[in-house]
């Protein structure tokens, strides 16, 4: 067997652990393993390179992806995908492991629909992928966010200021919600719950009245009132509200951390499981973690499904902020 592995979409800490596990577990099966540079763009360009066990040494502790990633609009077309399959056939590749998030797994699903054996590995810092309760990169992103929040709280307390920190997550509020709770935010704003900026201002005012030395708002980038929206509101009503807001947008910093233990372990388990699924002939699936166990979910289900966020945690956050 010849099996190729690629990383696609947003890079996520722990992807390298997954690449290492795919390659070494594949070698363990007696297969020849290949790396594809720059995701689906590299697949269409026939950018394959044989990977031995030594080639994936010393990468587990690195953030990002040693294979590189890319966003490839051409792969969304049938012609693009035909080109990719042609290149894989030319190289004699029998199966593909695609490590990535929603877009990547939509691409995997399309490849599987064209009868090419593919297994997806759940990896995105946004944790918005159906089929895995937690995805590679989320734990590290949360820890990076928490470090920023803790630091902002120190300076906020010294000056008695209100701070707002915006976290990435595309249209999903998971990272903002969890980091907000674990960081002890006074207010959390996520896309899944409609929030009135006036309520956020009241929350901050109440925090000061209760004698808190600081006030911290955590917002998700995808929220209707994200950093830009809330900052504009607070600026416009500064006189009436009686305080202003210092804004920090964490952006891609959140993605670049050294992978935590949890992400190295998750990448390792999911990477090895992808190989086990191929060995069993069970392709066209996404490997992830469901209810604490390794799980393979058909890609059709993954693409059609929508991951639900437990918004009751927002109420808990409100109670704990008192």
Strand partners, 218: 165, 188
* Positions marked catalytic: 126
- Binding-site member from 3, 6, 7, 8 for ligand ATP (CB under 6 A): 8
Among 317, 297, 316, smallest CA distance to 307 is for 297
Which among 7-15, 154-162, 171-179, 224-232 is the span making contact with ligand ATP, rule CB under 6 A?
Answer: 7-15
Q: What is the 3-state secondary structure (H, E, C) of 119-150?
A: EEEEECCCCCCCCCCCCECHHHHHHHHHHHHH
Residue at shortest CB range from ligand ATP: 103
Taking the complex as a whole, how short is the minimal distance between the CB of residue 111 and ligand ATP, in angstroms?
Answer: 8
> Judged by CB under 6 A, does residue 288 bind ligand ATP?
no
> Judged by CB under 6 A, does residue 71 bind ligand ATP?
yes
Binding mask 126-155 for ligand ATP (x = CB under 6 A): x-----------------------------
CB neighbourhood size of 283 (10 A): 23
Sequence-separated (6 or more) residues with CB below 8 Å from residue 86: none
> Judged by CB under 6 A, does residue 75 bind ligand ATP?
yes
Environment class of residue 79 by beta-carbon count within 10 Å: exposed (0-12), middle (13-18) or buried (19+)?
exposed
Taking the complex as a whole, how short is the minimal distance between the CB of residue 211 and ligand ATP, in angstroms?
Answer: 41
Q: What angle do CA 219, 221, 223 make, to 5 degrees?
A: 70
Among 133, 52, 141, 69, smallest CA distance to 103 is for 69
Rounded to whole angstroms, the Cα distance separating 187 from 120 reads 36
Rounded to whole angstroms, the Cα distance separating 82 from 87 reads 9
Which among 14-22, 69-77, 213-221, 222-230 is the span making contact with ligand ATP, rule CB under 6 A?
Answer: 69-77
Measured from the CB atom, the residue of 106 and 248 that comes closer to ligand ATP is 106
Strand partners, 187: 217
Measured from the CB atom, the residue of 162 and 178 that comes closer to ligand ATP is 178
Taking the complex as a whole, how short is the minimal distance between the CB of residue 40 and ligand ATP, in angstroms?
Answer: 4
Taking the complex as a whole, how short is the minimal distance between the CB of residue 87 and ligand ATP, in angstroms?
Answer: 15
Taking the complex as a whole, how short is the minimal distance between the CB of residue 198 and ligand ATP, in angstroms?
Answer: 32
Which among 47-55, 68-76, 269-277, 294-302 is the span making contact with ligand ATP, rule CB under 6 A?
Answer: 68-76
> Judged by CB under 6 A, does residue 254 bind ligand ATP?
no
Taking the complex as a whole, how short is the minimal distance between the CB of residue 36 and ligand ATP, in angstroms?
Answer: 12
Among 216, 150, 147, smallest CA distance to 185 is for 216
Binding mask 14-53 for ligand ATP (x = CB under 6 A): --------------------------x-------------
> Which letter does DSSP use for residue 59 in this model?
-
Residue pair 164/248 in contact (Cβ under 8 Å)? The answer is yes
Rounded to whole angstroms, the Cα distance separating 232 from 69 reads 35
Measured from the CB atom, the residue of 124 and 195 that comes closer to ligand ATP is 124
Residues 78-117 binding ligand ATP (CB under 6 A) are 100-104, 106-107, 110
Q: Which residues bind ligand ATP (CB under 6 A)?
A: 8-10, 40, 71-72, 75-76, 100-104, 106-107, 110, 124, 126
């Amino acid at each position: 067997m010849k099996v190729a592995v690629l990383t696609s979409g947003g890079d996520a800490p722990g992807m390298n652990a997954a690449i290492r596990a795919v390659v070494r577990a594949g070698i363990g099966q007696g297969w020849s393993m290949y790396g594809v540079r720059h995701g689906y763009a590299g697949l269409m360009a026939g950018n394959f390179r044989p990977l031995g066990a030594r080639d994936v040494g010393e990468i587990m502790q690195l953030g990002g992806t040693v294979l590189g990633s890319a966003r490839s609009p051409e792969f969304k077309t049938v012609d693009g995908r035909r080109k990719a399959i042609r290149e894989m056939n030319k190289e004699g590749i029998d199966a593909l492991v695609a490590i990535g998030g929603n877009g990547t797994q939509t691409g995997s699903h399309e490849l599987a629909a064209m009868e090419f054996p593919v297994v997806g590995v759940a990896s995105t810092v946004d944790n918005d992928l159906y089929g895995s309760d937690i995805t590679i990169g989320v734990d590290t992103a949360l820890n990076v966010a928490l470090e920023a929040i803790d630091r902002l709280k120190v300076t906020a307390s010294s000056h008695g200021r209100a701070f707002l920190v915006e976290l990435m997550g595309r249209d999903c509020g998971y990272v903002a919600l969890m980091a907000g709770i674990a960081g002890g935010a006074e207010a959390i704003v996520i896309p899944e719950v409609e929030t009135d900026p006036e309520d956020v201002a009241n929350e901050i005012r109440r925090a000061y009245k209760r004698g808190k030395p600081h006030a911290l708002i955590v917002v998700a980038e995808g929220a209707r009132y994200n950093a830009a929206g809330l900052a504009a509101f607070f600026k416009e009503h500064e006189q009436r509200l009686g305080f202003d807001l210092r804004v920090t947008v964490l952006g891609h910093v959140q993605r670049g951390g050294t992978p935590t233990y949890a992400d190295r372990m998750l990448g390792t388990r999911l990477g090895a499981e992808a190989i086990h699924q191929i060995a069993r002939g069970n392709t066209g699936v996404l490997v992830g973690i469901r209810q604490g166990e390794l799980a393979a979910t058909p890609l059709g289900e993954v693409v059609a499904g929508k991951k639900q966020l437990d918004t009751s945690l927002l109420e808990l956050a409100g109670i704990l902020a008192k």
